[in-house]
Amino acid sequence: MRCRLAKTDEEILACYSVMAELRLHLVKHAFVTQVRRQQQHGYCLAYLEDGEDIQAVVGFCMAEFLAWGRCLYVADLVSFV
């Protein structure tokens, strides 16, 4: 298994079916555009793959809060592992 950041449109689109298990409202043809828009504001999409299969997807960003300081904020997390 290896964990990677989804950087290309193809990698982002490959994460769709796993992410759609959590976010039922997502539409496949708009997914890459949505992720790209969120990336402009610091969103990152990472995935765990086992051979050809994606087993987990996480959407996250670095954030800073008065209460906690700088932290990693997990917005989306889906795992079949």
Torsion angle, alpha carbons of 36, 51, 76, 27, to 10: 60
Per-residue pLDDT at 32 exceeds 90: yes
Q: Which residues contact 76 (CB under 8 A, 6 or more apart)?
A: 19, 22, 23, 57, 58, 59, 60
Segment 9-24 shows an average pLDDT of 97
pLDDT at residue 81 in the model: 73
Q: Which amino acid is at 61?
A: C
Q: What is the pLDDT of residues 48-70, one digit of tens each?
A: 999 989 999 999 999 999 999 99
Q: 23: helix, coil or strand?
A: coil
Q: Which CATH number fits domain 2-79: 3.10.20.520, 3.50.50.100, 3.40.630.30, 3.40.50.170?
A: 3.40.630.30
Q: Average model confidence (pLDDT) for the chain?
A: 96
